[in-house]
Amino acid sequence: MSTQALLIGESFIGDGVNAAHINVVFGHREGPAGLAWASALATPSAGHVPFVAVLRPSLPVKPLTLFVTKSAPESAAHGLLIWGPAQAGVAAGVADALADGIISPEQADSHVVIAAVWVNPGANDAELVYTNNRESARTALENGVRHLPNTNDVIDARNSPSNPFYTPKA
C-alpha cells in the first residue's frame, strides 16, 4: 500500500438498539489518513470528542485508532456505553484485524485508523454493544482492505435498498 493509499470500510453488526455501525478510514500516517487523524483529534466539537482507542489505560491499540462518535451522548448511561464497551470493542476489533493478518505487523506502526462509531442512545446491553462493535470494527477493516463491497453487488442491489430503519415499499 502506498503512502497515499486510503482504504475505507463499513460494517453493520447486530440488530435493535445494541447494533453496531462502524465506518473506518485506514491509511499511512504520512498520507491523507494521517492528516485527517491528526486534524480530527485536534478539532473536537460539542458532543463529539475524538479519542485514541485503548485496550486498557496506557495501552493504545495498533495501528493507532481514533474513535469518533457519530452520536453525541444523550445521557450519562449512553456516554458510558460509548466510552466503555463500544470503545473497548473497537480497540479489540482492530487488534483482531492485526492478529488475523488483515493489517500487517508493519502497518501497525506506519498506519492509522479512524473509526466513526454509532452507539444508539437507546442501547441497553453493554456486552452486546461490546461484542457488536468488536466484530463491526474488524469487519469494516477487512471490507476496506478487500475493497468490498463488490461493484456488481452494488449494482444488483440498487433497486432494492434497505436498512434497519427503512425498506421502500415495492
21 catalytic, yes or no? Answer: yes
Q: Per the residue annotation, which of 21, 28, 78, 111 is the catalytic one? A: 21
Q: What does the chain look like in DSSP terms, one character per residue?
A: --TT-EEEEEEEES-GGG-EEEEEEEEETTSHHHHHHHHHHH--BTTB--EE-EEETTEE-SSEEEEEESS---SHHHHHHIIIIIHHHHHHHHHHHHHTTSS-HHHHHHEEEEEEEE--TT---HHHHHHHHHHHHHHHHHHHHTTPSPHHHHHHHTTS--BTTB----
- Supply the residues annotated as catalytic: 21
